Structure 1
Amino acid sequence: MIDVYSWPTPNGHKVHIMLEECGLRLGRDWRVHPINIGRGDQFQPEFLKISPNNKIPALVDTEGPDGKPISLFESGAILLYLAAKTGKFLPKSDRAKFKVLEWLMFQMGGVGPMLGQAHHFRIYAPEKIDYAINRYTNEARRLYGVMDKQLADHKYIAGNQYTVADIAIFPWLRSWQNQGIDWADYPRLKDWFDRIAARPAVARGVAVLAGARQPLTDDKARDVLFGQTQYKKH
C-alpha cells in the first residue's frame, strides 16, 4: 500500500494524478492522508519525519525497491519514483528520457516557483506591490510562451508521448486566471491543457481532497502559510 500525505495544491495534484494514471486506484492501491497546510499540519513531528522541508506531498510505500518501506518527499522525486516503480510515463531510451527530465526540471525550477510567486503577490500578499506583481506576472506569461512554442512541434510537452513532464506542469496551469493569463495568447498550450484535463485519471486526481480546501480568508492560516510560523524552528 502507498500512503500519500497531501493537500489539494498543484504539487499535491501531481502525485494524485500520477498514481491514477499509473493504474493505481485510491482506496485500493493507495490512500491519502490530508495535511491541512492552513492549519499547520505540515509542522507536526510525524510529518517532518518523512518531509523534513515541511512541504506536501510526501509518500510512504510499504513495498519499496528492496521490498522494504521507503519514504519520499518532493513531488518531482515522487513522480520519478512512481515512473520507475510502474514503468510508465518515462521513456526507456536515454535520449528520450533526458528530454522528459529537462522539462520536468523546467517545471520544478521555473513553472512552480514563478507561478507560485505570481499567485502570492497577485492574490495573497497583504499589500499590493506593483513591482512584484508585474515581475511575476510577466514571468508567468514568459513561461506560458515557452510552453506554447514547444507545442508548435510536439503533441505533448516533452515530445509526442504523454509523460511525467505533462503531469507535473498541468496542475500549475489550472489557476491561469490568478496568474494574469489570457488563454487567447497561447492557443497551442490551451489545446494541450484541454486534452490533459479531459483524461479520466487526471479528473480523478484533481478531485482528491478537493472538498477539503477552503478560500484563504483566515488570518491564522495566512500566518501559518506566509508569516512567522514558517520560520520558527520545528
Structure 2
Amino acid sequence: MDMLRLSASQVDFEYNKLDNMHSSITLYNDTHQPVAYKFKATNLNIFLVKPPLGIVQPRQSQLVTIILNSKVLETNSIKDFNEKLQLITTILPQGVQDAGPIFLDKMRKFEKQKINIAILTQDRKIVAQSQGNQSQMFHSVNKQFGQVEPTRVIATPTADKAKIEAEYFCNKFEVLQQEVTKKEQELQDLQKFNNGLSEKANIKSKSGKLDKLIFLLSLLVSFFLSFHYQNHILQAINL
C-alpha cells in the first residue's frame, strides 16, 4: 500500500500551443501518521509543481497544481515525448515540522511512485504520452521552470538525523514547559481559593462574636427597661 494515494496515476493536460498547460493531482493520506512528500521530474525546464514538497497530515489530502510549459512540444517531437513526474514519500518522525531535511537523510527509506503525463485535445485524443522507459533520471523540482532546488549542505546523514532528533526533543521540552506552567497556574488558583475561604471564615467568626455582644446588650437594656417600668407601675398602684 502506498503511503500517499494518488487521485490518478496519470496527469492529463489539455493541449495548448500558446499558453502553459495546467492540471492537478490530489494526494490522500489514508494512514494514521503524517507523511512527507517531494516531487521530482525528468525535465526541470517544462514542469512547475506547487507545492513541490510538504506534509500531508493523517486522514487529510493535499491538492498539487502542475504546470507544463507550452514549449514542451516545440523542442521535442510528439513521438519522442516521455516526460514523467516522481513522487517520493516517507513517514514523518514525530515532532518534526519541516519536510525538507528529511529527504537529505541517506539512511532513510523512501517510497517512490512514477506519475505519467498525457497531453490531450479537447475531445480527449492523445497528443503525447509518457512511455515506459525505466532508466530515466529524476530531478527535484522547485517553484520556477528550470530552477534547481537549493542544495542543503550537511556533514553526514547522521548529522541530519541528530538535527531531527534535536528538533523532536526541543518540541517535547516545550510541551513539558507548557504543562509545568499550567500546573503552577492551577496551584496558584487553588491557593487563592483557599485564602478566600479562610478570609470568609474569619469574617464569619468575627460576625458571630459581634452578634452575641449585641444580643447581650439588648438583653440588658430590656431588663433595665422592664425594671424601670415595673417601678412606675408599682408607684401608680400605691397611689
State whether TM-score is above 0.5: no
In the superposition, the TM-score normalised over structure 2's length comes to 0.22
Whose Rg is larger? Answer: 2
More strand by share: 2
Q: Which structure is higher in RCO with an 8 Å CA cutoff and minimum separation 6? A: 1
More helix by share: 1
In the superposition, the TM-score normalised over structure 1's length comes to 0.22
